Amino acid sequence: MKKYFASSELIINDDGSVFHLHVKPEWLADKVILVGDPGRVALVGSHLENKECEVESREFKTITGTYKGKRITVVSTGIGCDNIDIVMNELDALANIDFNTREEKPQLRQLELVRIGTCGGLQPNTPVGTFICSQKSIGFDGLLNFYSGRNEVCDLQFERAFLNHMGWSGNMCAPAPYVIDANAELIERIAADDMVRGVTIAAGGFFGPQGRELRIPLADPKQNEKIENFEYNGYRITNFEMESSALAGLSRLMGHKATTVCMVIANRLIKEANTGYKNTIDTLIKIVLDRI
């Protein structure tokens, strides 16, 4: 029996585009670049030729075109894992559900997804300007817990080691952080030999969840010190951003390939930041366009 998706579950607009993204199935390329900032879509788009579509709705902006003959879609996700849930489910629906019959297609169409973002570095080897490719992500968001199969794709021993190290129980990061690998083949190709391969915490906020204390004290004042000292099987935590766990997790469950590369714009250890990063992020964009 083919799975059928009712109009309340998969919402399709009158023009045949998917609800939030406003993208039609024929506009989606197999290679997808995700960026947080909608403004970054134009930056990626400036390298694309033969543009087929340019659509925008809320924080989701999409362009499909070609780069050196490769068909690529770039989509902005806005900030946070909640938006990744929307973007990944709608991209997967565009690829793997027939919008006319509302049934799952018989063959999986696998997408290759690379998120290009900014992050906070946590180690001496991640100063401002470093490009970090996430090998593993630790999700402080609870997103993956709502999907069946979470325990089959996550690294449960790493999760336990991290929780023991942090000494967290009760409400701290409840229900529990999840640890998920990015796609190994994609990491080899995208990180190559010139990016730091890291363990990324995808936090549920920019301030408290990343250990930034402004006027309200943190629940665990030693949070970042413990995160910086954590080591498990040779892995150290390298950076904070806000989306890589949901991207890696949903991609694993859906059968797609994904990883995240971020440019460090703040180093939390030595307390420095750089807000004028537009040129450097364009360098990272060109590297990813060449390697995707």
* Interface residues toward ligand R1P, by CB under 6 A: 35-37, 79, 117-118, 206, 241-243
Closer by beta carbon to ligand R1P, 18 or else 203 = 203
Report the distance separating Cα 196 and Cα 261, nearest Å: 9
| Token pair 């060109």 in the structure block, residue | 286
Q: Which does 243 bind (CB under 5 to 8 A by kind): ligand URA, ligand R1P, none?
A: ligand R1P
Per CB under 6 A, contacts with ligand URA among 209-228 are 210
Burial letters for 149-179: b for 16+ Cβ neighbours within 10 Å, e otherwise? ebeebbbeebbebbeeebebeeeebeebbbb
- The residue range among 10-18, 44-52, 91-99, 112-120 that interacts with ligand URA, by the rule CB under 6 A, is 112-120
Residue 55 or 79: the one with the smaller Cβ distance to ligand R1P is 79
User: 209 touches which of ligand URA, ligand R1P, none (CB within 5 to 8 A by kind)?
Assistant: none
Residue range at the interface with ligand URA (CB under 6 A); choices 14-22, 113-121, 156-164, 214-222? 113-121
Nearer to ligand R1P, 179 or 242 (CB): 242
Q: Select the span of 8-16, 57-65, 174-182, 235-243 touching ligand URA (CB under 6 A).
A: 235-243
Give the number of residues in contact with ligand URA, rule: CB under 6 A.
10
Residue 242 interacting with ligand URA (CB under 6 A): yes
Interface residue list for ligand URA (CB under 6 A):
118-120, 206, 210, 240-242, 265-266
